[in-house]
Amino acid sequence: MADAVTAATATTASRAIATVVIIVIVLGARYGANRLRRSDREIGQRSELVLSAAMTLVTGGGILTVVVLWDLVGPLARSYRNLGLQNLAGRILLAVVILTTTYALTDLVGRIIGEFTGKRSSISEHQREIVYRLTQVTLYTLAVLVVVGLFTRDLGSLLVGAGFLGIVVGMAARQTLGAALAGFVLMFSRPFEIGDWIQVGDREGIVTEITIVSTRIQTFDGEYVMLPNDEVSGQAITNRTRKGRLRIEVEVGVDYDHDPERAARIAREAVKELDQILNVPTPQVVGKRFGDSAIVLGIRVWIDNPSARRMWRARTAVIEAVTDAYADAGIKIPFPQRELMGRTEEGGLATAEGAERPAPAPATDGDGER
């Protein structure tokens, strides 16, 4: 009897040691893979995919080895048929196996998504991240449902209760859910991306982050503004960097005494050689309107890689060049003027009946002097 107890103890000890060794091997392999990914060495997408597949096989193999080592195949099989307390350990172990395998599988799925979508320029990095997160949530949801099914037979009632709970949560957080749905629309319609210069309503700046719920922009005053996605999708969005170039218009007034065609030609020649603007499309000068004091011309130029700094630099360069050119050509840039004229009233003041009344005599002091 003692020999049997000793043998059982030795067997248990050896299994425990072997289990520890397997766990160390699996964790060491995953740690080494993570270190390799974070190192300075360049790893291609295919190598990443192979590495993720190898880690999934190592994790799954380690779990299967532990199950076989402890002779748990029978309890795991009975866990599906019998929910008695005697199989609680088997169900717990099976739940751990399912969750661990799902964790390893999500990493592999992420690499597969990166492999198949990385070659498509139409799919941005942020969209790939969204697809991966959705896939990850789906896998974990299925795994949790399977694990819950191990511990209860009435899974249908549980799902009905979860559905009612979801309705209650949805009604309580309808604004957040609306922002989340709008976020998915923005992600896949792609009206803008991170780094774009956009204007939404009266807000203007550079997009710094796009999440499911909100969009964050940095204004040109250095402020960070977080806009709910439902508000962003409900307003007109102006993207100034989508096409890679932007037209700028600077207005200038020319005195009515000068020839507007000559003034337009001089302005066009003045801005042609500026480094801050593009030569193609060529600069244009068009007549805008008759102003109160001048004929207003519009100088239209283009810049590439639009940004607020490049736009203001181009505007400043155009204003300086046109001002100097008009000064050299003797063309006056007028400013609004008003003429004040006075007239002398003669014949006194007219009354309502049409009769004239003499103007009042000037005031005098006591001595009769003014």
Structure tokens at 344: 């002398």
pLDDT at 338 over 70: no
DSSP state of 282: P
The total of structural domains in the chain comes to 3
Assess whether 152 and 22 both reside in one domain. yes
Mean of pLDDT values over 316-325: 93
Structure tokens at 45: 């997408």
Residue 32 lies in a domain: yes
Three-state secondary structure call for residue 58: helix
47 Cβ contact list (under 8 Å, min separation 6): none
Assess whether 101 and 220 both reside in one domain. no
Report whether 293 contacts 287 (CB < 8 A).
no
Assess whether 208 and 314 both reside in one domain. no
Chain CA centroid to CA 358, Å: 79
- Tokens 């008009």 label which residue? 326
For residues 229, 233, 235, 240, the Cα torsion angle rounded to the nearest 10 degrees is 90
Say what the pLDDT of residue 254 is. Answer: 92
Report whether 300 contacts 285 (CB < 8 A).
yes
Q: In b/e form, how buried is each residue of 26-40, taking b as 16+ CB within 10 angstroms?
A: beebeeebeeeeeee
Kindly indicate the confidence band of residue 369, based on its pLDDT and cuts at 50, 70 and 90.
very low
Assess whether 55 and 164 both reside in one domain. yes
Residue 4 lies in a domain: no
Report whether 215 contacts 230 (CB < 8 A).
no
Higher pLDDT, 125 or 359: 125
Assess whether 272 and 288 both reside in one domain. yes
Assess whether 77 and 214 both reside in one domain. no
Residue 82 lies in a domain: yes
pLDDT at 79 over 60: no
pLDDT at 31 over 80: no
Say what the pLDDT of residue 301 is. Answer: 93
pLDDT at 210 over 50: yes
pLDDT at 322 over 80: yes
pLDDT tens digit string along 141-159?
Answer: 888 877 777 676 665 666 6
Residues in the chain: 370
What CATH number is given to the structural domain containing 288? 3.30.70.100
Assess whether 21 and 157 both reside in one domain. yes
Assess whether 226 and 252 both reside in one domain. no
Look at strands 356-357 and 203-210 and give their pairing: unpaired
Containing structural domain, residue 253: 245-329
Mean of pLDDT values over 293-303: 92
Across the beta sheet with 197-200, the strand order is 224-228, 214-219, 203-210, 197-200, 237-239
Report whether 47 contacts 41 (CB < 8 A).
no
Assess whether 57 and 200 both reside in one domain. no
pTM of the model: 0.53
Assess whether 42 and 146 both reside in one domain. yes
Residue 285 lies in a domain: yes
Say what the pLDDT of residue 85 is. Answer: 41
Kindly tell me the sign of the dihedral angle through the C-alpha atoms of 223, 227, 233, 235.
Answer: negative
Residue 148 CA to residue 102 CA, distance in Å, equals 15
Residue 86 lies in a domain: yes
Residue 356 lies in a domain: no
Structure tokens at 356: 């004239």
Assess whether 69 and 119 both reside in one domain. yes
pLDDT tens digit string along 98-116?
Answer: 787 787 777 777 777 776 6
- Mean of per-residue pLDDT scores for the chain: 76
Residue 70 lies in a domain: yes
Residue 142 lies in a domain: yes
Assess whether 162 and 193 both reside in one domain. no
pLDDT at 76 over 70: no
What CATH number is given to the structural domain containing 207? 2.30.30.60
